[in-house]
Structure 1
Amino acid sequence: MTGLLPIKKFLKEWVPSLLVAVVVSFTFNTYVAQGMRVPTGSMLPTIQLQDQIMVEKLVRFTDFQFGDIVVFYPPLPGHEEERYVKRLIGLPGDTIEIKDGSLYRNGEKVDEPYIREKMTYTFGPLKVPEDKYFFLGDNRNDSLDAHLWPTPFVDKSKIIGKAMFRYYPLTEIGPLK
């Protein structure tokens, strides 16, 4: 019977702490922030293939800004459960057009120092509907993004969160811009 005493003591002392840790971890991961490995090169040169980034999920309850790097579920048949990482290009009400290798937002040319190279395609003009967003990768000519999707807009309900910073590789830790 004495062999059971250490087990009972262990269970009494550690199980409540472990349960609290599991609940806190699950809640944090589900509602606050989550790590993610980037599986493609669609955001080169900003985010490298296989980089690990932290995604803040609380931001989905606030307003997004042009240029934010966002994680979402795409409106792409066969890919609806995948998480995509792209740059926010068009907010609700914006008119987006790509011509002559440049992005135009509401008729004005946008300076985009983060893109890998000028675009080799044309797109639009299209107006972003209410509660929808328009996303493109920084590696525009090699990115499966809104300019190729049958429905180019992402519903607000499909947004997971904002990519805040890279935490791996360790030599590249820092905020994403």
Structure 2
Amino acid sequence: MNEYLDSFIVAGGAALLLITFLIRSFFIPSESMLPTLQVHDYILVDKLIYHFAHPMRGDVLVFHPPHLDDPEKKDFIKRVVAIEGDEIAVQDGQVFLNGTLLDEPYIAEPPISDFGPLRIPKGYIFMMGDNRNNSDDSRGWGPLPLENVVGKAFLIFWPLQRIQLLH
């Protein structure tokens, strides 16, 4: 009996450490990342990765939105489209990064409104939802401070038929 209790305590402690410092699950409540993420998907997020590296273009991140009164009470998920030093613009349904048309096979449909150009300042990134016409993102509230990043989404784990790694 004592063996089982010890095993349970060790397993519980390991799970608590994992959830607190390394990995966290999130529920997808909206259509802003369609078709990549669907409503009711559950994902896993690596909370440790950006302590050692900066987000890269194309990464799908969970973050605290800077435009809310208490941003830590809500989490958003979007794709990194531009990093510090980049210039981003949306013109005629196309996204341009540093003057070059961005290849975006993951978007639901091209954006209908123009934006920018905007140069991304040091310590910031520019986030956009894959469902460009149904996303509350950096086009509305500006570049995201790096300190607002929670982590990088890396796996859809529910529903079972949608299990896949995210790129």
Same fold (TM over 0.5): yes
Aligned identity (percent) is 36
1:115 corresponds to 2:69? no
Aligned to 2:133: 141
- Residue 22 of structure 1 and its aligned partner are, at CA, apart by 2.4
Note the alpha carbon deviations across 1:60-106, whole angstroms, 9 max, x for none. 12132211111111111246121111000111111111111111111
1:161 corresponds to 2:166? no
Q: Report the CA distance shift for 1:50/1:78 in structure 2 as closer, same or farther (over 3 A).
A: farther
Aligned to 1:83: 75
Aligned to 2:116: 124
Note the alpha carbon deviations across 1:19-66, whole angstroms, 9 max, x for none. 322221111011111111111110001110010111111211213221
Task: Tell me the TM-score normalized by structure 2.
Answer: 0.93
Structure 2 portions without partners, runs of 5+: none
Aligned to 1:19: 9
How many residues of Structure 1 are paired with residues of Structure 2 in the alignment? Answer: 165
Structure 1 portions without partners, runs of 5+: 1-9
1:43 corresponds to 2:43? no
RMSD: 1.4
Could you tell which deviates more after superposition, 91-100 or 75-84?
A: 75-84
Q: Which has more radius of gyration?
A: 1
Letter in 2 for 1:85: I
Aligned to 2:48: 58
Task: Tell me the TM-score normalized by structure 1.
Answer: 0.88
